Chain A
Amino acid sequence: MSLWEYANPVRFLALSSRVLPVFWGLAALCLVSGLIWGFFFTPNADKFESTVKIIYLHVPSAMMAINVWVMMLVASLIWLVRRHHVSALAAKAAAPVGVVMTLIALFTGAIWGQPMWGTWWAWDPRLTSFLILFLFYLGYIALWEAIEDPDTAADLTSVLCLVGSVFAVLSRYAVNFWNQGLHQGASLSLDKEENVADVYYFPLLVCIAGFVFLFLALVLYRTGTEIRLRRTRALQAREVRA
């Protein structure tokens, strides 16, 4: 069995109908339990006081904002190299999810920044690269909508995705590239010393798992929708020609 078999829309839909209930269930379980754990059962921090509870939304959404773009990049490259329609449609399906994740990261960041830094917004390297990533998401969706021919739209949006990847990487590593600005370094790292304290770390991991499962469920479902819409348009075009 090869991964490329799922480039066949029928096989993809069959697989997604089997795994979707599991992903929806795991997303709900992890999000509800992680957020309740973090909100109700973790203490306020010395420096951040109760605003530390925003970490359970801010960090997972920011991680997903970047990783959704990376997934779109991989899907776009598969489209450009192998011309599998499902991969182009998966990239298209993921973009609105990325917009919402980036919006949540920007919004919760602003709400967190105001009491901690005394400002809602600063032209800090990480904040600015995230804002540009958000604009890239909007531009990507607008480009899909603006081009009538789906293959041309997939080609051009794939190129846009490659260009936008620079900002996805910058969003992740801006703090390291420019050792300046208000934003702190990563809250999670393979180096345990850099991680947040264990009392915040474990509920945070559960929330991240919840965001990942929610993303998987949404992208599989939305890709199925895009496949059906494409099939409907093809059948309607055949009806018109007949």
Chain B
Amino acid sequence: MPDLGKYADAVLSAYGVSSLLLLLLVVFTLRKGRAARAALEAVEKRKNPSG
């Protein structure tokens, strides 16, 4: 761990909050994508049950 001195809280909170925001963005993006894919498959199956 590098010596962050008296500004350790500032640096660590910048990294912590930024990482959390990026992670949430990726997770919500993937969840919405999976839901959209499933919804489209369901509608297409109803439209063309044999296919």
Contacts and interface: CB of A to CB of B under 8 A. Distances in A.
Bound pair: A and B? yes
Contact of B21 (A104, A222, A232): A104
Interface string A50-74: 1101100110010000000000000
A91 interface: no
Contacts of B36: 225, 228-229, 232
B2 A49 contact: no
Contacts of B6: 49
Contacts of B24: 100
A232 B36 CA distance: 8
Nearest to B30: A221
Contacts of A108: 14, 17-18
A53 B11 CA distance: 7
Contact of B40 (A111, A218, A228): A228
Interface of B: 1-8, 10-11, 13-15, 17-18, 21-22, 24-26, 29-30, 32-33, 36-37, 39-40, 43-44, 46-47
Interface of A: 35, 39-40, 44, 49-51, 53-54, 57-58, 61, 96-97, 100, 103-104, 107-108, 111-112, 114-115, 214, 218, 221-222, 224-225, 228-229, 231-232, 235-236, 239
